[in-house]
Amino acid sequence: MALQFSPQADAKISDICRRYPNTQAACLPVLHLAQDEFGYLSEDVLELVAARLAVPSSHVFGVATFYTMFHREPVGKKVLMMCTNVSCMLTGAYETLRKLEQRLGIKAGQTSADGEFTLIEEECLAACADGPAMICGDRYFLRVTADKVDATLDECRKLPAQHGHHPHSDKKH
């Protein structure tokens, strides 16, 4: 069966489209919805969004690849975004990132073997005064120095998964 949005997601897309002057302008929020629905934006999902919005797939692909918050590959249940921009770098972000990599057994850009975490090195999280900054889901963790990595990961493990479907679930995409 061809990939399709759930009836609930399809209704939300209709609501989104009503709030924008045209369907091309609705692309960004619909991509967010699609990522929540399917876990990541595969080629098939991008084609589905393009078809649903009746816009060129090249436009949808361009938007999805421009923004770092969109995942083009399967991700873990929780995505950790660690800022390494100047302010965070000066307060120890690279040391923190290395400690995260060591604790999770992965490098930035990878997903842990248990499927729990995907670690992303991020350019800026807009928390420059409180670096090093990290986001897990929609929660900010501030002043995450290397010595706080274990406690921070423990907190992140307690947070709910970020989306309904993820690649390590038993659900089919």
Same domain, 59 and 86: no
pLDDT tier at 95, thresholds 50, 70, 90 = very high
Distances (CA, A) of 93 to 70, 98, 141, 160: 23, 9, 12, 25
Establish if 71 belongs to a structural domain: no
The pLDDT tens digits for 126-152 are 999 999 999 998 899 999 999 999 999
Euclidean distance between CA atoms 48 and 5, whole angstroms: 8
Same domain, 105 and 35: no
Same domain, 62 and 88: no
Beta strands in 109-161 (DSSP E): 117-122, 134-136, 139-141
Same domain, 57 and 90: no
The pLDDT tens digits for 54-66 are 999 999 999 998 8
Higher pLDDT, 67 or 102: 102
Within its chain, how far is the Cα of 69 from the centroid?
A: 5
Tokens of 167: 């690649």
The pLDDT tens digits for 32-52 are 999 989 988 999 999 999 999
pLDDT, residue 69, reads 78
Tell me the pairing of strands 139-141 and 134-136.
antiparallel
Establish if 167 belongs to a structural domain: no
Q: Residue 122: pLDDT above 50?
A: yes
Same domain, 85 and 154: yes
The mean per-residue pLDDT over the stretch 85-89 comes to 95
148 residue type, one letter: K
Euclidean distance between CA atoms 147 and 151, whole angstroms: 9
Quote the number of domains for the chain. 2
Establish if 164 belongs to a structural domain: no
Range of the domain at 28: 7-66
Same domain, 115 and 146: yes
pLDDT, residue 66, reads 85
Which pTM was predicted?
A: 0.72
Return the closest-CA partner of residue 162 out of 132, 108, 103, 117: 117
Same domain, 43 and 108: no
